[in-house]
Chain A
Amino acid sequence: AQSVTQLDSHVSVSEGTPVLLRCNYSSSYSPSLFWYVQHPNKGLQLLLKYTSAATLVKGINGFEAEFKKSETSFHLTKPSAHMSDAAEYFCVVTLSYGQNFVFGPGTRLSVLP
């Protein structure tokens, strides 16, 4: 069965500094992996996805993530945080589209001025 671990429930960074949100997964098969962002009182928006193509995936708003099979990780990074990045971020794994997506518990990102 798949599972997703987000190692930090809350990350706080200063504006202009790098962001690292960690995600590890457990899956018996080659998974598809996603990062979603949820701003306060909003729905979830897709940031980026990995589906067995390039291991370094670029998403919207300057975010990117690298799939590392040996480490079973899919960490989300951004070189320079912006105030508008403050939100909840969810790492998601699924074996294939149309099947159940397994969500991590989320990481709340705070950006300090």
Chain B
Amino acid sequence: NAGVTQTPKFQVLKTGQSMTLQCAQDMNHNSMYWYRQDPGMGLRLIYYSASEGTTDKGEVPNGYNVSRLNKREFSLRLESAAPSQTSVYFCASSDVIYGYTFGSGTRLTVV
């Protein structure tokens, strides 16, 4: 089925460890996004990529890096995880007609 695929679905990290969250879309969308969702705060944009080869900071970029590997893939990296990064992370892609399509999320716990 067409859509946005995120891996992994769950992850537990120790403080200071690094990891990369993977995201791929097969809808030929130009724009891709990474959000984090925390209780009572809705979704906050971490980084976005308006097109292949470009990335821009969102509302809460500190502690994260991204790579737009190609049109399909947009990864999010935590270089040195902190407990404050415990959250649910959503990848999304968008186009002009249909708006956003979200992945199913990655639940990350940093201990």
Q: Residues of A with Cβ closer than 8 Å to B?
A: 9, 32, 34, 36, 41-46, 49, 90, 92, 97-98, 100-101, 103-106
CB of A98 within 8 A of CB of B43, answer: no
Chain B residues lying within 8 Å of A98, measured Cβ to Cβ, are: 30-31, 50, 94, 96
Q: Given the complex of chains A and B, what is the CA–CA distance between A100 and B41 in angstroms?
A: 16
Given A103-B43, A104-B42, the answer on whether A97 and B94 have CB atoms closer than 8 Å is: yes
B22 at the interface (CB under 8 A from A): no
User: How near does chain A come to B91, taking the closest CB pair, in angstroms?
Assistant: 9
| Interface size in chain B (residues, C-beta < 8 A) | 26
Q: Given the complex of chains A and B, what is the CA–CA distance between A72 and B26 in angstroms?
A: 35
Q: Given the complex of chains A and B, what is the CA–CA distance between A105 and B48 in angstroms?
A: 20
7 examples of A-B residue contacts, CB within 8 angstroms: A9-B40, A42-B104, A97-B31, A98-B96, A100-B45, A100-B48, A103-B42
CB of A90 within 8 A of CB of B43, answer: yes
Q: Given the complex of chains A and B, what is the CA–CA distance between A41 and B9 in angstroms?
A: 10
Q: Given the complex of chains A and B, what is the CA–CA distance between A4 and B76 in angstroms?
A: 26
Chain B residues lying within 8 Å of A101, measured Cβ to Cβ, are: 33, 45, 94, 100
User: How near does chain B come to A105, taking the closest CB pair, in angstroms?
Assistant: 4
B90 at the interface (CB under 8 A from A): yes
Residue-by-residue, is B37-52 near A (CB-CB < 8 Å gives 1, otherwise 0)? 0001111110010100
Interface centre among A44, A100, A105 (most CB of B within 10 A): A44
Question: A44 touches which one: B48, B90, B95, B98 (CB < 8 A)?
Answer: B90
